[in-house]
Amino acid sequence: MRARRLVAALVAVSALVASCSSSNAPAPVAEWGPDLADKVTIDGVYGHLLKLQEIADANGGNRADGSPGYQASVDYVAQQLRDKGFDVETPEFERLSGSQGGRPVLTVAGRNFRVEQASLMITTPRGGLKAITLRPRRPAGCSAADYGNVSVAEAIAVVDDTGCSIVDKQRIAAEEGAVGLLVVSQATPSRPVGAPPTLFTPGYYNDLKVPVGIIDPAADAAVRRTDSAVTLVLDKKPVMTTSRNVIAQTKTGDTKNVVFVGAHLDSVQSGAGINDNGSGVATVLETALQLGGEPGTANAVRFAFWGAEEVSMDGSKKYLRSLSKEQIDDIALYLNFDMLGSPNAGYFTDDGDQSTQTGDFAPAPDGSAGIERTLAGRLLLDGVRPADIPLQRVTDYAPFLAAGIPVGGLTTGSSQIKTPVQARLWGGRDGVAFDPNYHTRLDNIDNVDRDALGIMASSAAFAVGTYAQSIDGVNGVPAREQRDRLVP
């Protein structure tokens, strides 16, 4: 079955290219996808990686958001794009970088209990929030049905840490009329060990609208023993950091059908981030430079280099939130490239048709499956048999998914362990992570697989060129008049 799907993907890509090569298309630009793929070479991509390593070496060994190394990375990428004739912007955004002051506490029947402030952007009123505590009929509090006929209006809702994210728990509680929320958990945002993986999603605090605290079972036991009001004090103040994205768009092409391409520019603080995500940055940058600022493609192409992905995904989130609904509707699709040179590489496409998706995940926007087929087909043409990797909520395409924009992308894997079957398929070592250096100081220029990066960069460029030429065909995405996107 898997082999048949891969063959179908190859045929589908060929059909798309053929449909774009009809006699109605100008002959010199009949095959933008293959042409751009040929121009994006490993030597060009690797040159950018060398520069990013040089920047990290000169700035404390990393390019983390908010650091001098990150600012130098922004300046390098922006100048390269300007030199090729792009309109380039480096819009600023603010992100949370910590908190200061305050003494969060939960007072129950005159006794104080420890509480961790989860709502880092939201504090309680002076003197604290005084209210009774009530619980949904089902303790997760992930839906209105969990509350049933229990009214929590003007109360502090108390839920457990299972079933959904803290954002969803807070949203439902607020919709039910609660003025605050307590989540019972041994894990906390500052020490999330043992927390369900969906509880503290990246940047969750940006989406909390009422005071939210985390309490342990001892505090919960005290809350259960009283019917009187408790006092919740969450008074730590947020500390904000200003960061920048890099946004560049071609001066030609239909701006009502924007092909959007992105990669996160920041590293973690522990290393230079050359695979994660210098490899994606170098690929997207070299693709942009080879395309040029005035390529004459049918559709405009916008390139983004995101800040703060490793911290909170605020770069991509806040950029998308800065757009109007009409501007969001103008985005035809989004392509994301992250970690394309893992030393124990796999060859993964983002799972647009959701054939490997598990758990509670909304359907991918229409067109995502076609993007997967385009990328998988190109990898097959390069002699690599691809696999798909489930879509996630913790990377830069997540805000685009939430807005209803078709997404797709490539990765060679991170901390996941390569299986014996994958080792037979792609080579490398089974029982070892695709990138054993993930988020460490060893994620440097010496630990990048040039062969894998060359294949993935060429495939990424193919997809960019293909959709820049046409969003129609068997692997196309909805036309402009068919889009009704959500504003995140």
| Residues paired with residue 89 on neighbouring β-strands, in sequence order | 247
pLDDT at 428: 97
Residue 136 dihedral angles phi and psi, to the nearest 5°:
-70, 165
pLDDT tens string 365-414: 999 999 999 999 999 999 999 999 999 888 999 999 999 999 999 999 99
Q: Which two tokens stand for residue 86?
A: 């792009």
pLDDT tens-place string over residues 9-50: 444 444 444 444 333 434 444 599 999 999 999 999 999 999
Residue 202, amino acid: P
CA-only gyration radius of the chain, Å: 24
CA torsion, points 217, 221, 222, 224, in degrees to nearest 10? 130
Please report which confidence band the pLDDT of residue 154 belongs to, taking 50, 70 and 90 as the band edges.
very high
- Token pair listed for 336: 């994301």
Structure letter (DSSP) for residue 225: T
State residue 268's pLDDT score: 96
Q: Strand ranges (DSSP E) for 101-250?
A: 105-108, 111-113, 116-117, 129-131, 133-134, 156-160, 180-184, 212-215, 230-233, 237-244, 246-249
The pLDDT assigned to 276 comes to 97
CATH for 102-235 is 3.50.30.30
Q: Compare 441 and 7 and report the one with higher pLDDT.
A: 441
**Can you tell me the distance from the alpha carbon of 2 to that of 368, in angstroms, rounded to the nearest whole number?**
18
232-to-92, 132, 154, 212, 215 alpha-carbon distances in Å:
34, 10, 14, 9, 11
Q: What is the pLDDT of residues 258-286, one digit of tens each?
A: 999 999 999 999 999 999 999 999 999 99
Coil vs helix vs strand at 92: strand
Strand partners, 137: none
* Arithmetic mean of pLDDT over the chain: 92
Domain assignments of the chain as residue spans, ordered by start: 2-96+242-482, 102-235
**What's the pLDDT tens digit per position in 195-217?**
887 899 877 888 899 999 999 99
Both tokens of residue 275?
A: 């695979």
pLDDT at 30: 53
Q: Among 449, 416, 410, which residue's Cα sits nearest to residue 433? A: 416
Q: Is pLDDT of 138 > 80?
A: yes
Q: Which amino acid is at 153?
A: A
pLDDT digits (tens, 9 = 90+) for 410-419: 999 999 999 9
Lowest mean per-residue pLDDT among 250-264, 277-291, 304-318: 304-318
Do 6 and 373 contact (CB within 8 A), yes or no? no
Catalytically active residues, by annotation: 309
- How many residues are there in the chain? 488
**Three-state SS sequence of 440-469:** CCCCCHHHCCHHHHHHHHHHHHHHHHHHHH
By percentage, how much of the chain surpasses pLDDT 90? Answer: 84
Which three-class secondary structure state does DSSP give residue 53? helix
Q: Which residue is listed with tokens 């929590």?
A: 152
Would the pLDDT of 336 be above 50?
yes
- Please give the average per-residue pLDDT across 128-154, as a whole number: 97
Exposed, middle or buried: residue 107 (CB in 10 Å: 0-12, 13-18, 19+)? middle
Q: Which of 460, 426, 409 is nearest to 342 (CA)?
A: 426
Report the top-level CATH class of 2-96+242-482.
Answer: alpha beta
Q: How confident is the model at residue 194 (pLDDT cuts 50, 70, 90)?
A: confident
Estimate to the nearest angstrom the gap between the alpha carbon of 89 and the chain centroid: 21
What is d(CA 172, CA 178) in angstroms, rounded to the nearest whole number? 9
